[in-house]
Amino acid sequence: FTPDKIRNFGIIAHVDHGKSTLADRLLEITGTIHKSEENKQVMDSLQVERERGITVKAQTASIIHKHDGDQYLLNFVDTPGHVDFSYEVSRSLAACQGVLLLVDATQGVQAQTLANFYLAMEHNLKVIPVINKIDLKTANIDRVYEEMTSLFGIDLEDVIAISAKNGSNIEEVLKTIVCKLPSPLQRDPKSFNPNNNLKVLLFDSLFEMHRGVTAYVAIIDGVLRTGDTVTSQILLNREQKGKKTYTVQEVGMLRPGREKTDALYPGQVGYFICNMKSVSEAQIGDTLFREGFPVKPLPGFVKALPVVYAGLFPPLPVEYDQLRSAIDKLILNDRSVTVKHTDSPVLGRGFLIGYLGLLHMDIFRQRLRQEFQADTIVTVPNVTYKAILKPSRKKGIKEPKEILITKASEFPDAVDVIQYSQPMVTVTIVTPVDYITAVMDFCDNRTGEEISNTKISETQVVLVYRMPSSEVLIDNFYDGLKSLSSGYASFDYEESGYEVTNLKKIDIIVNGVEVEELSRVCTSDKVDGLGRSICQKLKTNLPGQLYPISIQAAVGKTVFARETRPAMKKDVLAKCYGGDYSRKLKLLKRHSEKVKALKQSGSANISRKVFIEIFKR
Ligand code: GDP
Ligand code: MG
């Protein structure tokens, strides 16, 4: 395929608007996969994706479509819709010239539709608007037209109405892709030349237990063949000095499974396998070239900024190395996490991991378990606060110094602090007019500040608020919004700087011992409520012991909330059948002595095992 016969595009939309289903139809209609009942959302190949019915990873496939007697190669990416994975979307659009923007005819434009549309504009991509699910009785095509024209300035004639489920009008989509999307060459006439020096964008990579590293690539210039020697642009870690070269062992296309070929040509997207051993070698965003023929590197990808942090620990200290190796492999396929080492008095050696949201955190943990058999314990997630410390000769701080607080144990002494600040987000909510008052109250309660309020059709409104990240990312914003709007409102957010605030650290003291893993940082107004609720939760979740457990919440030295978990009554006689009275007495006596000894020796400390139970619940 010459580059003028190639089209690269992404399928973008709000969650559940039908991206993966449309991908299935495109694969079937072009004969890439067989039509069958089992071919449902074939692009969602991860176990988590199949179990949860959501797309987590952007997935590429190549299809061949005949139009006007010519064969065209169409490379497309099925993208995730959840806001937690928008980094995946943004990254995968780097190799595209256009997008299909899907809107569900029954729901209309939703928060992620807006976010994705702006993303496409940012990447300067041609947008093909598509209305999906027109087979449903509740489809309201006119309303969706109205929203699309008023929001996106789209011409009605350009909108294609389809049903991804029953396949109606899919031919029209294919025709529009061929006729309206620019080829890679049209976008960048100086590149996509097979005679230029080899230039390859590494846009994704995957580690599999039995196969090792596979690199996913887009060919910008030159031809990539089996047996070629390629060099990575990025310097490897400092010890190794210099760049590393690899011999290409296999190249191929993604249809969507791997299909071996002899070579990949400019404008094509595919995979290659080489002798990459360690994870640090396959850097996403890297530009590869032929050994001895360096090229100007592509811009690469901006690193994702994590918004929530939580500790990740092995259930047993001896499993630390195993967990580390599992994380190393998983981050090959998920570069949006940041990983730091951390230690915890109770849980031992572990990691502090930065995620793009709580769903992301959940998925990461599930993938560790399912793809790498690594079980984990997760601590309470936190957003990243900041503090400015006073200059102090004693501590060697010459000027006011800003520090990040990613976990409670990093919280500085109040006397050392000039100012605290908290991260903020701008939230975009799309809601039916009927729920507007409820949504506004909900945002007010979360100290949101209204920025705008726009009607986009007879029935729909877009509200924009600015509020603390912790309100949106940690405190079940999603569930709250969904339940007050009977599921109709949707939201999206983006980071919006920091704002000065007053912060406190809540310490949790269990039987007289402060437990660092349970400490929390929050704004001053939240201290009371949060402290109380932690104590109550612990009371119900702490596994019962033979002695009573006191639970206290304190700020500094002041205890402001307390609960007691009563001693568990152990049925000492459970194992004693029959009527031997003296034996029963003996057992009872031994038990009461044991409890007394426990109390006296102060060994009523909570053991590691008990904590693991808490974090598991
Ligand atoms: P994605 O999250 O955008 O990838 O959406 P999916 O492709 O996973 O589809 C979400 C749900 O909508 C699935 O239950 C699909 O079967 C359903 N769906 C997708 N397209 C259509 C359509 O055209 N008509 C109907 N009735 N249902 C559809
Ligand atoms: Mg999907």
13 lines ligand 1 (CB under 6 A): yes
- ipTM rounded to 2 decimals: 0.99
528 lines ligand 1 (CB under 6 A): no
Lowest-pLDDT range, 77-81, 486-490, 612-616? 612-616
Beta bridge partners of 392: 397
* Backbone dihedral angles phi then psi of residue 446, each to the nearest 5 degrees: -100, 30
Cα-to-centroid distance, 113 and ligand 2 (Å): 14
Please list the helix, strand and coil fractions of the chain in percent, rounded to the nearest 5, in that order.
30, 35, 35
Query: What is the reported pLDDT for 240?
Result: 45
* Runs of H (alpha helix) within 291-357: 320-333
Which single residue is written with the structure tokens 């010239």?
Answer: 97
Q: How many helices (H) and strands (E) does the chain have?
A: 15, 30
Atom number of ligand 1 nearest to Cα 162: 23
Q: Answer whether residue 432 shows pLDDT above 90.
A: yes
Q: pLDDT tens for residues 202-228?
A: 888 888 777 778 899 999 999 999 999
Cα-to-centroid distance, 49 and ligand 2 (Å): 8
d(CA 310, CA 612): 15
Q: pLDDT tens for residues 543-587?
A: 777 778 889 999 998 999 999 988 877 666 666 666 677 777 777
Query: What is the reported pLDDT for 540?
Result: 84
Q: With contact defined as beta carbons under 8 Å apart, do 218 and 95 qualify?
A: yes
What percent of the chain shows pLDDT beyond 70? 91
Residue 408 has what DSSP assignment? G
Q: Is 135 labelled as part of a ligand binding site?
A: yes
pLDDT grade for 603, boundaries at 50, 70 and 90 = very low
Q: Is 80 labelled as part of a ligand binding site?
A: yes
Assigned token pair, 599: 């109390």
Q: pLDDT tens for residues 89-107?
A: 888 888 899 999 999 999 9
- The count of other CB atoms within 10 Å of the CB of residue 47 is 13
Q: Which ligand is nearest to the CA of 100?
A: 1
Query: What is the reported pLDDT for 56?
Result: 83
Q: With contact defined as beta carbons under 8 Å apart, do 192 and 166 qualify?
A: no
What percent of the chain shows pLDDT beyond 90? 57
Query: What is the reported pLDDT for 411?
Result: 94
> Quick one: three-class SS letters along 41-68?
CCCCCCHHHHHHCCCCCCEEEEEEEEEC
- The count of other CB atoms within 10 Å of the CB of residue 199 is 26
Query: What is the reported pLDDT for 604?
Result: 43
d(CA 454, CA 462): 5
Q: Is 13 labelled as part of a ligand binding site?
A: yes
Query: Strand runs (DSSP E) across 113-262, as ranges?
Result: 126-132, 160-161, 199-208, 212-221, 224-225, 229-232, 245-254, 258-261
Q: Answer whether residue 261 shows pLDDT above 60.
A: yes
Q: pLDDT tens for residues 145-183?
A: 999 998 898 898 999 999 999 999 999 999 999 999 999
Q: Answer whether residue 601 shows pLDDT above 50.
A: no
Q: With contact defined as beta carbons under 8 Å apart, do 428 and 492 qualify?
A: yes
Q: Is 81 labelled as part of a ligand binding site?
A: yes
How confident is the prediction for the chain on average, in pLDDT? 88
Which single residue is written with the structure tokens 């949101």?
Answer: 448
Lowest-pLDDT range, 49-53, 153-157, 269-273, 569-573? 569-573
Beta bridge partners of 463: 429, 453
Q: Answer whether residue 500 shows pLDDT above 60.
A: yes
106 lines ligand 1 (CB under 6 A): no
Query: What is the reported pLDDT for 238?
Result: 42
